[in-house]
Structure 1
Amino acid sequence: MNRRWTALDRRTKILVLGSALLLSATAASAATASDSEAPRQREAAALTGTAKLYRSAGDDITFSFDAHLAAKDTADPTKATGTFEFSHYLNGEGAKAKAKVDCLLTGGKVAVVSGVITSSDLPGAKGKRVGITVHDVGHRDRLGYSWASTGSPVETKGLPKCVGSAPFEKVKKGTGDFTVVPWLPDF
């Protein structure tokens, strides 16, 4: 009986050793394949997401962002691309607008994006530059916009790129999903 167990142990050891060698070879092959792939370069900055603002009167105000600054353009935030949209309705009346991004600056969890309105049902808004500031707090994001002191994007005159207001508005609970990728320029 001793010989049987010894032969069985030897076969078991060979099987286990063979399996271990096969697993090691597979892991080494996978590591080599992933090492040969170029590391993915992170974009220089970004602002994405959608949220509704909180207003006690029940206004329906929504902001959506899809703004990006490519890694190759890290030294020039005015090369940012993308769009953002906003709308404001109360009792069925209001307007919406879509803008083409012309600048994006981010720092930590704060982003300032500006763009020129390309389409809107607000008379006089098309062609106006607007700027928005977002604070990505996580559960309670905040937002501010360049027309806060004028009351309308139409009244904003001569706004430079990448200018917004302090993020004074609160995002409606459960709606904020803004994500800010911080800008890390090489100065």
Structure 2
Amino acid sequence: MHRRTKIAALSAALLLTAGAAGSAAASPEARGAGGQREAAALTGTAKLYRPAGDDITFTFDAHLAAADTMDPEAATGTFGFRHVYPDGTSGWAEARVDCLVTGGKVAVVTGVVTDTDTPFKGKRVGVSVHDDGKRDRLGYSWIGSEPEETKKLPKCMSAAPFEKVRSGTGDFRVLPWQPQYPEAG
């Protein structure tokens, strides 16, 4: 009987620990080292809505540590996209984050493309996200007419989030940036 009580207590403790860990991982206010809230974050995956049948997926895992609150160019992480056209041809890219700025439910992330089968290799690209909780939106820097081969996109820049995300696919999560300014004297 004593053994059963120990097993039951251990099982309950494990369930409580797993539940707490799951709740912490799902929290919109991600915690970094030492339990401190990150300065900003953009995470998640979604497919764009395209009535012609294109399959376009964007994925984000971008973070700005609390220690870097006043330096959005210290952001780390990756983001990527894959575009499969209706005829079966495709293009994809993965980028290393070099800037992340968020405000409310909107985020702008830029990064240099590290791996791709597109002309973006070695180029900075930017993506914007609006996490509205119902139907997210997304924008990207390559919407303009300037050729990617000559474009010099600055850090932290992208087009407004003009594209609709396919219903049921958006799970973007934007953690708002809260810059800390010195008090006026």
Normalised TM-score (structure 2): 0.77
| Pairwise CA RMSD | 1.6
Identify unmatched segments of 5+ residues in structure 2: 1-32
Q: Which amino acid aligns with 1:82?
A: G
Q: 8 Å contact 1:150–1:156 — kept in the other structure?
A: no
Supply the distance in 2 between the matched residues of 1:121 and 1:68 (Cα, whole angstroms): 26
Q: Which amino acid aligns with 1:147?
A: W
Give the superposition deviation at 1:150.
3.0
- Seq. identity, %: 68
Supply the distance in 2 between the matched residues of 1:169 and 1:155 (Cα, whole angstroms): 24
SS state at 1:72 partner: helix
Give the superposition deviation at 1:51.
0.1
Q: Which amino acid aligns with 1:84?
A: F
User: What per-residue deviation string (whole Å, max 9, x for no partner) do you get for residues 19-51 of structure 1?
Assistant: xxxxxxxxxxxxxxxxxxx97210000000000
Q: 8 Å contact 1:53–1:169 — kept in the other structure?
A: yes
Give the superposition deviation at 1:55.
0.5
Question: Which 4+ runs in 1 deviate beyond 2 A?
Answer: none
Alignment pair present for 1:165 and 2:153: no
Supply the distance in 1 between the matched residues of 2:164 and 2:88 (Cα, whole angstroms): 22
Supply the distance in 1 between the matched residues of 2:54 and 2:150 (Cα, whole angstroms): 22
Q: 8 Å contact 1:69–1:79 — kept in the other structure?
A: yes
SS state at 1:147 partner: helix
Supply the distance in 1 between the matched residues of 2:113 and 2:59 (Cα, whole angstroms): 14
Q: Which amino acid aligns with 2:60?
A: F
SS state at 2:35 partner: coil
Supply the distance in 2 between the matched residues of 1:177 and 1:149 (Cα, whole angstroms): 27
- Aligned ranges for residues 133-152 of structure 1 at < 5 Å? 133-150=128-145
Give the superposition deviation at 1:76.
0.2
Give the superposition deviation at 1:165.
0.4
Q: 8 Å contact 1:46–1:67 — kept in the other structure?
A: yes
Q: Which amino acid aligns with 2:95?
A: A
Larger Rg: 1
SS state at 1:186 partner: coil
Partner of 1:128: 123
Supply the distance in 1 between the matched residues of 2:92 and 2:51 (Cα, whole angstroms): 20
- Aligned ranges for residues 81-120 of structure 1 at < 5 Å? 81-90=76-85, 91-120=87-116
User: What per-residue deviation string (whole Å, max 9, x for no partner) do you get for residues 96-115 of structure 1?
Assistant: 00000000000000000000
- Size of the aligned set, in residue pairs, is 148
Supply the distance in 2 between the matched residues of 1:155 and 1:174 (Cα, whole angstroms): 35
Structure with the largest fraction of helix: 1
Q: 8 Å contact 1:128–1:156 — kept in the other structure?
A: no
Supply the distance in 2 between the matched residues of 1:83 and 1:113 (Cα, whole angstroms): 10
User: What per-residue deviation string (whole Å, max 9, x for no partner) do you get for residues 126-170 of structure 1?
Assistant: 101000000001120000000011387x35611000000010000
